[in-house]
Structure 1
């Protein structure tokens, strides 16, 4: 066991909303490419593909878990996780899941409490077409997922390549 008291358990394994804040900066590099990519993340378990080093985050053993707020008109851009499945569970509002399959773009509408699990190797994104903020739970199937890729030749893919070394340095420092 990795705890000896209930207090130690609580310190290590409980994530409380009161200790969290919406992080509008963690994905700001995407917003630099397109203002519609503005959204906020709140990490609960694992640092995820973003390498967020928030000390209130529970250490991941098998998966990551966060919530994300998408303002009206906001887009989580198309991206690909080659190593993990990604789950979007809609907590509030309605969103459209964006998928590419066999070279074609597809949209699937999700409402509150709807869920989609996207397998590794499938380009995916999400968009809030509603008039109010939407919120979803996001789960990735590994404690330290690889950085996602974006469509070849896109501005986000060029930026990802530039930022790869920065992310690796953050992870290396956090692992020490």
Structure 2
């Protein structure tokens, strides 16, 4: 049997995600913004669909992790959330932000300053968030350590946790269709 010749064009179609083909998705986290306008931010997906399991078909298919960038307008907050199944990495590409870290069942929220090209990796089971407390837009890379991470949870009793419970059924339907 003849060996198939490597086709770089097919490889490129399957494994290359170009900025010129991406669009900022200001709607993927709109449910958070509806709870509080300070949660407004945009995601640009490159590898995989992330924990939101959106229907973006213009991504490199994830095999082991997801990768996206996120635009953080001045003053915005990525709310505290917890992934029970994956670590999450925030890598600051532009700007300066505060990473927010909170242990489960504890009240204190710890703040860790992150500047350009700083990185934080948060293990499963720890609440994490981000706050752009500056006057300029920040940009970060986000990586999740699974192809289809579980939908994150929010602190008990929060408006976002109540909304998450409602949206969990929608997410499962999207995943089932793929």
> What TM-score comes out, normalization by structure 2 length?
0.94
Equivalent residue for 1:51, pick from 50, 53, 58: 53
Distance in 2 of aligned mates of 1:72 and 1:7: 40
Are 1:127 and 2:131 an aligned pair?
A: yes
Runs of 4 or more, structure 1, over 3 Å off, are none
Query: Offset at 1:103?
Result: 3.5
Deviations 1:125-152 (A, max 9, x none): 0000111110000000001000000000
Partner of 1:144: 148
How many residue pairs end up in the alignment?
172
Computing the radius of gyration over CA atoms, which structure comes out larger, 1 or 2? 2
Query: Which residues of structure 2 form unaligned runs of 5+?
Result: none
Distance in 2 of aligned mates of 1:61 and 1:69: 25
Query: Which residues of structure 1 form unaligned runs of 5+?
Result: none
Distance in 2 of aligned mates of 1:149 and 1:18: 33
Are 1:104 and 2:128 an aligned pair?
A: no
1:1-176 alignment, distance < 5 Å: 4-101=6-103, 102-174=106-178
Q: CA RMSD in A?
A: 1.1
